[in-house]
Structure 1
Amino acid sequence: MRRRLPPLNALRAFEAGAGHLNFTRAAEELSVTPTAISHQVRQLEEWFGLPLFKRGSRRLSLTEAGAQLYPVVAEALDRIAESACRIRGQPDRPTLTVSVTPTFGSRWLAARLGKFWIEHPEIDLRVHHSVHLVDFKRDDVDLAVRWGLGAWPGTVSERLMDAVAMPLCSPALLTGPHPLREPVDLEHHVLLHEKDRQEWTEWLIAAGLDDAPGRRGPVIDDPNSLVRAAIAGHGVFLGSVTMMNAELDSGALVAPFARAGGPEPAYFLVRPDDASPGRAAHAFREFILAETGAGE
């Protein structure tokens, strides 16, 4: 049976352009010029008889037809590449790099990664831990999990789980010369910081207190060391009850008082808003939404 197919080179150009939503980056991927990508896409649009991209003054986006075509073409090209590599004896494993906060990675994700590997052995997953925001244009990262309010410029954020921060400390700090009973008592204690001092400063302001204590205290960017310091009675840190439930249940940590008011942060799955997720990124997204219950 003779198949009536669009020009295959044009399909490759379209898939790269749709993946990046940028013809310059698509050209770099295929080692051609942006003009060549644009020409191939125009040829494909003429073949279909309708536009596949919306060409704005600053950015590209897919039309309804383009959005229908992209996942089909991407999957077909992926399967061709995988089959070719198997035939040549060189199994091809798509690489997926995910950046997560150290707390989320060590206290939630690590215990669940085995399930993802069983479901997707074909994906070469690389998990990078960082407390800093990802620059998707500079860093070699496909997806990120970050804690905050989800309003990061240039990104698409999907809420995964609530993670309201509360002061947590050793029960030893509830007694002594300056027992922790009210938020104002924090001025007598060391405040521990994971990333920077902004989170404590914002919490104190939300509690109606002077933010001066929040501008001092050690910064410990390893969450396990931070928690151990708090358990040892060396200070108070802002932690998510969701992530610290084991220590709270055992009594190693306590929440001396209720959280302050203000915005409620959460963990978000983050990706760049100028590129469509590939098959590996889509698989991880489906996995993490299912595990957190955010996809229900």
Structure 2
Amino acid sequence: MDRLPPLNPLRAFEAAGRLQSIRRAAEELSVTPGAVSRHVQSLEMFLGVRLFRRHAREIVLTAEGEQYLAKVSEHLDGIREATRALTGRRGKDILRIRAYTTFAMKWLIPRLSSFHAGNQTTEVRLTTSNETVDFDRENLDGAIRLGDGRWPGVELDRLMPNELVPLCTPEYGRRHGLQNPEDLQGTLLLHSLVRSDDWQYWLKAAGVSGIDPYSGDKYASSTLAYQATLEGHGIMIAQKALFLDDLRAGRLVQPIPFSLDRGAFTYYLIYPRRSSRNPAFRRFREWLLDEVERIEQPAALRSES
């Protein structure tokens, strides 16, 4: 077969295969789901090859479909780049990323300007949620999640260590004479309800008894617990990597040197396989991993009480 396949069915197939969804492909192409289905069926008839296995609520690429999509995506990307180079116009690439509120506010957003500087045609649509991510039903390219690395059916990259440390203002640390884990007796422990067991993990690892790990004030998120800590209300248990800027600026201190590394239970970038075919996502992933590599945690961040 020497003649080229029709372009519209090819675009519909590429979008449906990349997004693994007829509905999301229709939204991207501004057509109806029925139109996408008809285009894909006409391409299959043209090729004489079945590209998708169709189930009640989803479509799955066949082995032939996977191979064809990889080649088609490569050449469509080349056509887009050639067109942009010729016309001098670049449309916006939309990148949809999900993260936790505290991770987004304390780590990701302060660094995003460096991504935008090198990717001015990519628009990052960042949302926050603690809910489980479902790539089959949500239009997301990737998500930053906390877990043990066992998410079935997705690709993943381990990000920074999940190092738990107690943090407070310098004045609070001095006032309570905080130097050793036992000195926490009589302080007000601050908790995030979505990470309600962190003080228990830390106190147990530090070998401290006689302190109720669930006592103190509780907040709906780590962001609220952080604000209460800044106001001098108490001492929070926190993931050190998210608060390095506060430690460097002296807004917070780690008055007790003991830290607990949760090992494999940490932050990961997770994403469906289809995202690997998206050049904008590949650039974002590469940038994110580079930023993680730059994290430095010098011992000098500990302040004397």
TM-score (norm 2): 0.69
CA distance, structure 1, for counterparts of residue 111 and residue 58 of structure 2: 37
User: 1:270: which partner in 2?
Assistant: 270
Is there any run of 5+ residues in structure 2 with no aligned partner, and where? 295-305
Is the 8 Å Cα contact of residues 154 and 274 (structure 1) preserved in structure 2?
Answer: no
Structure 1 pair 111–177 and aligned structure 2 pair: CA distance change class (3 A): closer
Identical counterparts, % of pairs:
31
Structure 1 pair 261–160 and aligned structure 2 pair: CA distance change class (3 A): closer
Residue 161 of structure 1: CA displacement?
Answer: 1.9
Residues 118-152 of structure 1: CA deviation (Å, up to 9, x unaligned): 32211122334x36236456766433223343445
Is the 8 Å Cα contact of residues 178 and 188 (structure 1) preserved in structure 2?
Answer: no
Alignment partner of 1:18: what SS? helix
CA distance, structure 2, for counterparts of residue 95 and residue 13 of structure 1: 18
Structure 1 pair 226–288 and aligned structure 2 pair: CA distance change class (3 A): same
User: 1:21: which partner in 2?
Assistant: 20
Alignment partner of 2:18: what SS? helix
Residue 18 of structure 1: CA displacement?
Answer: 0.4
Is the 8 Å Cα contact of residues 161 and 263 (structure 2) preserved in structure 1?
Answer: no
User: 1:239: which partner in 2?
Assistant: 238
User: 1:164: which partner in 2?
Assistant: 163
Is the 8 Å Cα contact of residues 174 and 181 (structure 1) preserved in structure 2?
Answer: no
Moved more, 69-78 or 155-164: 69-78
Is the 8 Å Cα contact of residues 50 and 62 (structure 2) preserved in structure 1?
Answer: yes
Structure 1 pair 213–199 and aligned structure 2 pair: CA distance change class (3 A): closer
Residue 203 of structure 1: CA displacement?
Answer: 2.3
Alignment partner of 1:214: what SS? coil
Matches within 5 A, 1:224-235: 226-227=225-226, 229-231=228-230, 233-235=232-234
CA distance, structure 2, for counterparts of residue 29 and residue 75 of structure 1: 19
Moved more, 81-90 or 100-109: 81-90
Residues 175-195 of structure 1: CA deviation (Å, up to 9, x unaligned): 667856336x64632222345
User: 2:5: which partner in 1?
Assistant: 6
CA distance, structure 2, for counterparts of residue 118 and residue 179 of structure 1: 42
Q: Which amino acid aligns with 2:201?
A: W
Aligned length: 288
User: 1:288: which partner in 2?
Assistant: 288
CA distance, structure 1, for counterparts of residue 228 and residue 27 of structure 2: 48
CA distance, structure 2, for counterparts of residue 165 and residue 264 of structure 1: 13
CA distance, structure 2, for counterparts of residue 261 and residue 122 of structure 1: 38
TM-score (norm 1): 0.71
Structure 1 pair 54–125 and aligned structure 2 pair: CA distance change class (3 A): same
CA distance, structure 1, for counterparts of residue 179 and residue 45 of structure 2: 71
Residue 229 of structure 1: CA displacement?
Answer: 3.8
Is the 8 Å Cα contact of residues 168 and 255 (structure 1) preserved in structure 2?
Answer: yes
Structure 1 pair 72–110 and aligned structure 2 pair: CA distance change class (3 A): same
Is the 8 Å Cα contact of residues 201 and 215 (structure 1) preserved in structure 2?
Answer: no
Structure 1 pair 205–114 and aligned structure 2 pair: CA distance change class (3 A): closer
CA distance, structure 2, for counterparts of residue 231 and residue 28 of structure 1: 44
Is the 8 Å Cα contact of residues 169 and 256 (structure 1) preserved in structure 2?
Answer: no
Matches within 5 A, 1:238-257: 238-248=237-247, 252-256=252-256
CA distance, structure 2, for counterparts of residue 67 and residue 75 of structure 1: 13
CA distance, structure 1, for counterparts of residue 95 and residue 261 of structure 2: 38
